[in-house]
Amino acid sequence: MIEEVNTPDWDKKLAEKVVLIDFWAPWCQPCKVQEPILEELVQELLGLSILKLNIDDNRYLSQKLGVRNIPTLVLYDNGIEVKRFVGIQTKEILKSSIKL
């Protein structure tokens, strides 16, 4: 399941085991290309949580985390950032980086 997250939910959501955060915006065409890849990924990797954070609605948090380009995908394990991807990523690249 892919779930939208906002700043107030941030710490609670990151406490989940393995979380991939998708920093995106509605006007971003590459983000729209990335979306179906993430949908496939979450179906194939049971136990993975994918959260979407709209940078337009959450500017402070995206700036604080150093997100300068979108799409940016950040992989967290127990609240700790373990990998960052900038730009469109293939399902294969993402799968090879995610250890559940």
Catalytic residues: 28, 31
DSSP 99: -
CA 88, CA 71: separation in Å to the nearest integer? 7
- Extended beta strands in the chain, E state: 2-4, 18-24, 49-54, 72-77, 80-86
- Strand-pairing partners, residue 65, are none
